[in-house]
Amino acid sequence: MTTKELYTKGARIWVEHPVKVWEGATVTSDYRSGVLIVQLDDNKEIRQIKIPDEGRMPPLRNPSLLIGQNDLTSLSYLHEPAVLHNLKVRFCDRNAIYTYCGIVLVAINPYYDLPIYGDETIMAYRGQSMGDLDPHIFAVSEEAYTKLERERRDQSIIVSGESGAGKTVSAKYAMRYFAAVGGNASETQVERKVLASSPIMEAIGNAKTTRNDNSSRFGKFIEIHFDNQYRISGASMRTYLLEKSRVVYQSAGERNYHIFYQLCAGAATEKMPELQLDHQDTFHYLNQGGSPEIDGVDDYKTFRETKNALSTLGVTESEQRSMFTVLAAILHLGNVELTSDPDEMQLDNQDGAYIRPNDKHLSIVCSLLGVSKPELSRWLTHRRIASAHEVIVSRMDVQRAVFARDALAKRMYGKLFAWLVQAVNRALDTGNAKKHFIGVLDIYGFETFEINSFEQFCINYANEKLQQQFNSHVFKLEQDEYIKEEISWKMIDFYDNQPCIDLIEDRLGVLALLDEECRVPQGSDMGFVSKLHDKCSNYPHFLKPRFGSAAFIIKHFADIVEYQCGGFLEKNRDTVLEEQLECIKSATNCRLIHSMFAESPSDHSATLPPPSRRRTTPSVPLASLTQPPRRTSTQKQTVGAQFRQSLSALMATLSATTPHYVRCIKPNDTKQAFQFDAARAVNQLRACGVLETIRISAAGFPSRWLYQDFFYRYRLLCRFKEIDRGDIKKTCSSILQRYLKEPDKYQFGTTKIFFRAGQVAYLEKVRADLQRAYCVRVQSCVRGFLARRRYTCIMRAIRGIQAYARGHIGRTKAQEIRRERAAIKIQKHIRGWLARKRYRKLRHLAIGLQARARGYLARKHYKEKRYLQATITIQRYARGYLARMRVRRMRRQIIVAQASIRRFLARRQYKRLRIEARSIDHVKTLNKGLENKIISLQQRLEHAQDKAKAIEPLQAQIVELRSKLEYLKQVEIEARSLKVDIQDKDNFLIFLKEELAKEKENNKRLAEEKSQIEMRYKKEKEAKEAENEKLANELKSNKEHFELLIEVLDTYVYNINRVMKQA
């Protein structure tokens, strides 16, 4: 097929997009001379694309039949946009997180708990082939288990992807599947221990990063062992690349390992005061990231889960206490303050390290471990330099001392991690026979950041080795498939990353030069980079940065990565002062220390570098140092060499197994459920080698059809007389020879037909065009047949109508007359009946209303009379009360008037007597008689005065009592009057209340009766109106029906007359 045949009007293609990476478009006119005019699917924009070379045409889109396929290699067009679109459709539209890509399972993290991992799902995939059911991690696990049984060859599942892509979860479900299908009653305990190891390894090996709240900071290879009956007999674990630098330093927004925060949260509650742990923010090793909390995670709760898991794996309570003691000692060691010695300020060593004697945290470390405080304090600030003739002990500067302290903390944590891994392996080792195993590898995916260091170099080196193993395995499978089907084939050109691996592993490669620089007494990071620029420049995968000389660039299979040389040598050495180690090993309070630091070939340590004048802050533990440490005569293997050996052993193990690949993809950085970021996904697909797998498949024959499937799909492309069901292969050959003119576009195998990329899509297009043409031919024939049959039926119907039309018209006319008369009669009776019914109803309502109104008026009149009577009674009592009050007032006034008159008369009599007394004659007359009387009276008076003196107090009391008695009598009279008035008013008030309650009750009853009457009247009115309306509608419908019948009959008569006239 030529370009003009493919890029015609209506062809669907992909065009590049700056955000969505690729977007769909449709060709609006045939391709001509380097110009292609397309219309975008989203905004309908017309765009003109210039094609400088026909080999760089826009990718074609697959037919709708192939969209959403379970296997990406089933797509006719295998390229980046097709793969990306197929994954997006499955993930976003169908919520399918798993997709096959040949032998690779692509798993997209949904950030949502899907119900697809239950025991029912496990049993559904048991015994099924990979293509029988939807893609699933259980399908890959079943394939590995089946091959283990059938081929008696060890298997491996390699899970890779970047942080947060779901690697650990996929590996966990794979192990759960093996435990379910390969376990029995005794193996249930093994499964329980395997599951219990997860929270332990997460606690000591996982941490919060900016990309993932539970990021695994180490790689692991778990071997699940099986016996001769293919039942689980045990398990073991190997770990790689623990990020020990995280123990002493964390970037912004990140945390240290979970176990530290769990221990701080649980120390107080679990009654461990001897650890002397405070809040996590008080420790230097925990507060550098500024993000101590994880949303939705309770550190104390996870601490309890970690302790339970340790107990499940047989770690005793004493060992747990010792482990927590070591962790607490590491935290307190990080808080030991190293400052300049004030006593040495006048000497040359002005920045010599010094620890205050009263340093609290140093005392806690020594008491926890049981080591000598002077010794530990000394070797945290001093170092020993051995020469040929003597040994010199000198003080370190603050920077060196901080680095030495952090190196010791990292070494202690690394040893504790290794001890726990050994404890897990001891618990998982049942001692039963181990004939075969299935390995599950969970390791970092390819990493590239703004600043890449030694950790990223090792991770990407491991991924290069895994990608090489993957490429060779995929190519071998393709080759085996072609040989099995006996087709002619040529070598497929695929990306070989062996040159990149040579750059790293050669005698003059990166690792060798790094180890060499570590052995040089004055070796430095800058010296290491200089050697790389000098001796590795001839490697095609090595580049020098355009700016700066403290970095180097390697062209990896996934991306070009620039590595900063700062800290390479120190991280590769992983040095700790021997004196510090000996001091820690002398611990008497923690027996676990002796188990952790048991001698092994890799346990030898080296001295630190000589002092430096340059100052640094303690929060940067991995800074590059211009003066590297000198090595002692006892050399230990470098981290790079150890990792290379362990990686070689891992590759040997994987090469001896049948590998199965799971590539985990992180769909977005915001952790939103079923949100697909195309740009992020494409970068990960490139990094994990999925697109390279697609390219290898596309370079060969990616589309493969069984002969029978191809025959049933495309047999309509063959003439009926050429179909030979006895020889389906011959029929398929005739189809392909007719439509695919180039023989190299397909190959006939033993059981399958192999197609180059795009050929199946072309056959689909031809098939669709033929189906469209055949449908048009069939439709035209069917439409003609239906039209003829309809005409015959119409003629037959017309003849029948002509035979019965006249009689029908007569009968209809007579029936219409009868119905009209009957309708008039019915209307007359109905109108009369309705009028009578309405009159009776109105009369009944009027009588009822009158009765209610009369009763209402009577009650109202009675109420008014009673109100008037009550008013009169109130007035009577009020007038009586007012009259009595008036009489009392008048009586008081009369008494006052009488008193005034009596006083006036007394005064007048007194005046008259005084006048008479003044008369002389009268006085003389009276004197004589009076003198005698006076004398007698004086005697009597004296006698009376004597008696009066005795009676005088009693008379005063009598007068006072009489006045009080008179006042009380008046008060009693007024009280009796008021009491009578109050009683009368109370009686009248009670009477009024009773009358008012009765009136309220009557009013309420009348209101209810009124509302009931109104409701009854309203319902009866509505019922009558509805009945009237129903009768009116019936009459109207009858009338319309009669009119319609008349029109139909008139139409029939008219048609019959016209037909008869034409006849």
Model pLDDT for residues 950-976, shown as the tens digit of each residue: 777 777 777 777 777 787 888 778 778
What does the pLDDT average to over 369-384? 91
Is 700 labelled a binding residue? no
Q: Give residue 631's pLDDT.
A: 39
Q: In whole angstroms, what is the distance from residue 709 CA to residue 661 CA? A: 28
Residue 324 has pLDDT above 90, yes or no: yes
Residue ending a domain, among 723, 755, 787, is 755
Assess whether 824 and 859 both reside in one domain. yes
Is 730 labelled a binding residue? no
Assess whether 30 and 93 both reside in one domain. no
Assess whether 712 and 737 both reside in one domain. yes
CB proximity list for 351: less than 8 A, separation 6 or greater: 340, 397, 398, 399, 613, 615
Residue 346 has pLDDT above 90, yes or no: no
Is 435 labelled a binding residue? no
E strand map for 472-615: 542-543, 551-555, 560-564
Is 567 labelled a binding residue? no
- Tell which wins on pLDDT, 182 or 314: 314
Q: In whole angstroms, what is the distance from residue 940 CA to residue 935 CA? A: 9
User: Is residue 541 very low, low, confident or very high in pLDDT (cuts 50, 70, 90)?
Assistant: very high
Residue 622 has pLDDT above 60, yes or no: no
Assess whether 872 and 839 both reside in one domain. yes
Assess whether 778 and 691 both reside in one domain. no
Weakest mean pLDDT among 57-61, 373-377, 640-644, 764-768 = 764-768
Q: In whole angstroms, what is the distance from residue 184 CA to residue 179 CA? A: 9
CA 977 to chain centre: 88
Is 726 labelled a binding residue? no
What does the pLDDT average to over 184-192? 61
User: Is residue 921 very low, low, confident or very high in pLDDT (cuts 50, 70, 90)?
Assistant: low
Q: Note whether residue 384 is domain-resident.
A: no
Is 124 labelled a binding residue? no
Q: Give residue 1053's pLDDT.
A: 65
Q: Give residue 344's pLDDT.
A: 52
Q: Note whether residue 1042 is domain-resident.
A: yes
Assess whether 84 and 164 both reside in one domain. yes
Q: Note whether residue 440 is domain-resident.
A: yes
E strand map for 814-940: none
Q: Give residue 745's pLDDT.
A: 81
For residue 597, give Cα distances in angstroms to 349, 412, 604.
Answer: 34, 9, 11
Helices of type H across 429-486 = 454-485
Residue ending a domain, among 733, 755, 777, is 755
* Six token digits for residue 889: 């007032």
What does the pLDDT average to over 637-664? 90
Q: What is the CATH number of the domain that holds 55?
A: 2.30.30
Q: Give residue 551's pLDDT.
A: 93
Model pLDDT for residues 559-576, shown as the tens digit of each residue: 899 999 988 998 898 888
Assess whether 97 and 217 both reside in one domain. yes
Q: Note whether residue 942 is domain-resident.
A: no
Short-list 290, 305, 222, CA closest to 259:
305
Assess whether 121 and 204 both reside in one domain. yes
Q: What is the CATH number of the domain that holds 86?
A: 3.40.850.10
Assess whether 837 and 689 both reside in one domain. no
Q: Note whether residue 611 is domain-resident.
A: no
Weakest mean pLDDT among 710-714, 752-756, 1032-1036 = 1032-1036
Q: Give residue 484's pLDDT.
A: 81
Assess whether 49 and 120 both reside in one domain. no
Residue 920 has pLDDT above 70, yes or no: no
Residue ending a domain, among 740, 755, 770, is 755
Assess whether 190 and 275 both reside in one domain. yes
- Tell which wins on pLDDT, 523 or 98: 98
Assess whether 742 and 819 both reside in one domain. no
Residue 816 is part of which domain span? 762-917+961-1062
Is 73 labelled a binding residue? no
Q: Give residue 184's pLDDT.
A: 58
Q: Give residue 616's pLDDT.
A: 32
Mean pLDDT for all residues in the chain: 83
What does the pLDDT average to over 816-833? 92
Is 166 labelled a binding residue? yes
- For the chain, the domain total comes to 5
What does the pLDDT average to over 372-388? 86
Residue in the block written with tokens 């620039």 = 562
Model pLDDT for residues 248-307, shown as the tens digit of each residue: 999 888 999 999 999 999 887 777 888 999 889 999 999 998 888 888 889 999 999 999
Q: Give residue 489's pLDDT.
A: 67
Q: Note whether residue 708 is domain-resident.
A: yes
Q: Please say whether the beta carbons of 703 and 76 come within 8 A.
A: yes
Highest mean pLDDT among 636-645, 725-734, 814-823: 814-823
Residue 627 has pLDDT above 70, yes or no: no
Q: Note whether residue 884 is domain-resident.
A: yes
Model pLDDT for residues 445-500, shown as the tens digit of each residue: 788 888 899 988 999 999 899 888 888 777 777 777 777 888 876 666 666 788 99
* Six token digits for residue 61: 């889109």
Active-site residue set: 163-164, 168, 212, 215-216, 445, 447
Q: What is the CATH number of the domain that holds 499?
A: 1.20.58.530
Q: In whole angstroms, what is the distance from residue 838 CA to residue 1031 CA? A: 15
- Tell which wins on pLDDT, 91 or 1019: 91
Q: Give residue 261's pLDDT.
A: 94
